[in-house]
Amino acid sequence: MKITWTLQDGRTHTAEVANGINMMEAAVANDITGVVGECGGSLSCATCHVYVADDWLGKTGEPEDFEDAMLDATEAERKDNSRLSCQIVADDSLDGLHLIVPAP
Ligand code: FES
């Protein structure tokens, strides 16, 4: 599947991501500045925070309770479309997904 990030400087980066890879791993593999993934995807750091583009919110779904609590600890402002990207896993239904990296 393809995923596009809007970067902190406003440019976009699109990459091919294999099914089963989470969006934090995909961002790190693509050197996306601002997505860190300090805890390796174990839901304990909130450094993989991204905003989901509005037209994709229905497909990525809602955060689980623990992710929801962790989203209160993000460095950038939490918004209605905030997610921890390690909790979004690539599959064909997300082909074309658009994520926005929070500004520093
Ligand atoms: S990588 Fe730590 S919460 Fe997502």
Q: Which of 21, 22, 24, 74 to mutate to test the pocket of ligand 1 (most atoms within 8 A of CB)?
A: 24
pLDDT for the residue numbered 26: 98
The DSSP call for residue 78 is: P
Distance CA 44, CA 58 (A): 25
Q: Is 52's C-beta closer than 6 angstroms to any atom of ligand 1?
A: no
Yes or no: is domain 2-100 CATH 3.10.20.30? yes
β-pairing verdict for 2-6 and 97-100: parallel
Give tens-digit pLDDT for 18-30: 999 999 999 999 9
Tokens 């699109």 belong to residue: 14
Give tens-digit pLDDT for 43-84: 999 999 999 999 999 999 999 999 999 999 999 999 999 999
Give tens-digit pLDDT for 85-96: 999 999 999 999
Distance CA 76, CA 82 (A): 10
The domain ranges of the chain are 2-100
pLDDT for the residue numbered 77: 97
